Amino acid sequence: MSREKILEKVRAAVSRLPHQVEYPTYEDAMLHSAPRLQGGTLWEMFRRNFCAVNGKTMDSVAELVTFLQANRWQRGYCDPMLMDSVGNQLAAAGLQVESTYDRENYDAYQFGITLATSAVAESGSVVLDDQHTSDRLAALSPWVHVAVLREEQIHRTIPEAIAALGDSPNIIWCTGPSKTADVEGILIEGVHGPGEQIVLRHAWWDSIIA
Maximum Cα–Cα distance across the chain: 58
Cβ proximity of 123 and 55 under 8 Å: no
Dist CA 146 CA 148 (whole Å): 6
Q: Write out the chain's pLDDT in tens, 210 residues.
A: 688 888 888 887 777 667 777 777 777 677 777 767 888 899 999 999 999 999 999 999 999 999 999 999 999 999 999 999 999 999 999 999 999 999 999 999 999 999 999 999 999 999 999 888 889 899 999 999 999 999 999 999 998 998 888 777 789 999 988 777 777 777 777 677 799 999 999 876 555 443
Domains of the chain plus CATH, in order, are 39-204 (3.40.50.10420)
